[in-house]
Amino acid sequence: MKYILTLVFSLTFFQTILAQKPVYQQAYEAHENYREESINSRRFKHADVEPLLLRLRDEPGFSVSQLGTSIEGRPIYDVSVGIGDTQVLMWSQMHGNEPTATMAGLDLFNFLVADDQFDELREEILSNLTLHFVPMLNPDGAEVFERRNAIDIDLNRDALRLTSPESRILKNIRDSLDADFGFNLHDQSTYYTAGINEEPATISFLPPAYNYEKDVNEVREKAMQMIVQLNEALQYYVPGQVARYNDDFEPRAFGDNIQKWGTSTVLIESGGYPRDPEKQEIRKLNFMLLLTALHAIATESYTERDREAYWEIPENERYLYDLVVRNVQREMNGNFYTVDVGINRVEIEFDENQDFFYVSSIRELGDMSTYYGYEDFDAEGMVAVPGKIYPELQSDLRAVTELNTKKLLRNGYTTVRVEDIEGQEKIRQQLTLDVIGLEAEPEYELLLGNRPNFILEKNGKPRYAVVNGFLREL
């Protein structure tokens, strides 16, 4: 009897625990069930997203309306659901190469159409608010994976002049709803840090200012309270990796103006997360944030937050590189100098901007003791010897894959010259050796702007190689 009682007690206890799990935790843990599986990396396009939006037309409670078209004629949609009085407007990818929140938005739609153990949560949200989500506001930019639109303007500096149709679309929907809340969803540099340390700013927030004085009125205060609540959720998963953006007033930006027009506006910037180049972990965090925000609005839980806690979030700084190699000895004219080397990897696109390979570059040299690398390597006691070009010309990239990479690197060759370097980018993406075409005359001295190709020798023996910005043990 005693055991049965214990069992009953335990079950009730666990049920209570389950019921008390905060919404952000439920959202994060359940994300995989709602993840839009057709999109797995950042370089998707309007044609990939459009059918996913249009199919929502068949879902009860959803409406999908075309708000207009981009300069190049791509339809821009408003996905709307909910019957509550509070109007919530979210828009993503106003910068074409900032797609993380679009992915999360698609996951959010999948969540909202589902019928499962979260029905109560959906009901609570959708009876208290009406959501309007405009995914991929800049489809022409997304097409070429660029920030700006087809006429090369930054939509986020077009809130006053409204010269571009995409800008007018955003302004019109904001005005027609007179939205209570606005979520301006972006991506930021992966090199940003949460304060002066090695923690990436995985998510940064801003409740944009609405005047040069940076006053806080009731509209902006709500945005600050919302950020305080969202930050609490993030600290559970990415402690120390949340920052706040500079809040200087930018009179031409949308966030600042939408705040000014009376919509409590939260800017969410998705930054970097270690070993997550396609931002799939950050997508999950975005999903969690969007759902948490909707729930907070529906229940008004954000009003219980102290807006002053916003200022405790560290500021967005820039202290990260992709790779920092420290304490390298480099020789010049017979003398040796100790330098740290800061290396960043640039994405070069191919396959109609749907894929990329890396070309790296030396971005900093000298004392980098106050900077950090996603990968950080101490080369204490090692001498950097510039990489050499392999003397045997190769016909194409496939031929390069046949070479004995390790042997070449041990002999100081980081780079292979090939006759035909074009059109084999899929292979280039996988290469451990660096490649150059017939014409190139590269310079691999440790100097700013050069491609980081060098061998790290200890007592005259090759120990490591840095090839196109990637560290290899030899």
Token duo for residue 41: 């990396």
- Give the shortest CB-89-to-Zn ion separation in angstroms: 17
Instruction: Count residues near Zn ion (CB under 5 A).
Output: 3
> 333: left (phi > 0), else alpha (psi -120 to 50), else beta?
left
In the complex with Zn ion, the residue whose CB is nearer, 141 or 387, is 141
- In the complex with Zn ion, the residue whose CB is nearer, 78 or 98, is 98
* Nearest distance, CB of residue 151 and Zn ion, angstroms: 17
Q: Is 198 exposed, middle or buried (0-12, 13-18, 19+ CB in 10 A)?
A: middle
- The residue number with the shortest CB distance to Zn ion is 186
CB of 264 to Zn ion, least distance (A): 20
- Cα separation, 330 vs 276, in Å, equals 32
Q: Is residue 279 a contact point for Zn ion (CB under 5 A)?
A: no
Of 458, 406, 394, give the one whose Cα is nearest residue 433: 406
Cβ atoms 462, 474 nearer than 8 A: yes
Task: Give the end-to-end CA distance of the chain in Å, rounded to a whole number.
Answer: 66
CB of 252 vs Zn ion, minimal distance in Å: 14
The closest of 89, 180, 98 to 134, measured between CA atoms, is: 89
262 CA to centre of own chain: 28
The distance of closest approach from Cβ of residue 243 to Zn ion in the complex, given in angstroms and rounded to an integer, is 15
Report 180-199 residues binding Zn ion (CB under 5 A): 186
What's the closest the beta carbon of residue 251 comes to Zn ion, in angstroms?
17
Q: Using CA atoms, how far apart are residues 190 and 192, in angstroms rounded to an integer? A: 6
Cβ count within 10 A of residue 90 = 25
Q: Is 389 helix (H, G, I), strand (E, B) or coil?
A: strand
Q: Select 186 or 326, whichever has its Cβ closest to Zn ion.
A: 186
Q: Which is nearer to Zn ion, 97 or 453 (CB)?
A: 97
Give, as ranges, the residues between 445 and 474 that touch Zn ion (CB under 5 A): none
Nearer to Zn ion, 316 or 414 (CB): 316
- What's the rounded Cα separation, in Å, for the pair 431 and 426? 9
Residue closer to Zn ion by CB (options 143, 457) is 143
Q: Which stretch binds Zn ion (CB under 5 A): 92-100, 200-208, 299-307, 424-432?
A: 92-100
Q: Of residues 45, 95, 305, 345, which one binds Zn ion by CB under 5 A?
A: 95
Whose Cβ is closer to Zn ion: residue 186's or residue 220's?
A: 186
Binding letters toward Zn ion, positions 106-135, x by CB under 5 A = ------------------------------
Stretch binding Zn ion (CB under 5 A), from 95-103, 302-310, 373-381, 389-397? 95-103
At closest approach, how far in Å is the CB of 186 from Zn ion? 3
Task: For Zn ion, give the closer residue by CB, 318 or 461.
Answer: 318
Asked if residues 342 and 321 have their Cβ atoms less than 8 Å apart, the reply is yes
Q: Please, what is the minimum distance in Å from the beta carbon of residue 183 to Zn ion?
A: 13
The neighbouring-strand residues paired with 372 are 320
- Tell the residue number behind the tokens 């006429």, with chain if given: 151
Q: Which stretch in 90-98, 241-249, 319-327, 385-393 sits in contact with Zn ion by CB under 5 A?
A: 90-98
Do the beta carbons of residue 292 and residue 230 sit within 8 Å? yes
Residue with smaller CB distance to Zn ion, 186 or 222: 186
CA distances 116 to 17, 33, 83, 303, 368, Å, are 19, 11, 20, 29, 52
For 116-145, the DSSP string reads STTHHHHHHHHHHEEEEEE--S-HHHHHTT
Closest CB to Zn ion among 98 and 322? 98
State which of positions 293-322 bind Zn ion (CB under 5 A). none
Report in angstroms the alpha-carbon separations of 152 from 158, 196, 312: 12, 33, 37
Query: Shortest distance, CB of residue 129 to Zn ion, whole angstroms?
Result: 25
Tell the smallest beta-carbon distance from residue 273 to Zn ion (Å).
17
Task: In angstroms, give the least distance from the CB of 353 to Zn ion.
Answer: 18
As a whole number of angstroms, the longest Cα–Cα distance in the chain is: 88
Instruction: In angstroms, give the least distance from the CB of 58 to Zn ion.
Output: 32
Of 432, 469, 431, residue with least CA distance to 450: 469
Cβ nearer to Zn ion, comparing 34 with 91:
91
Query: If residue 205 lies in a helix (H) or strand (E), which one and from where to where?
Result: strand 203-206
Q: Which is nearer to Zn ion, 167 or 329 (CB)?
A: 167
Query: Which residues bind to Zn ion, rule: CB under 5 A?
Result: 95, 98, 186
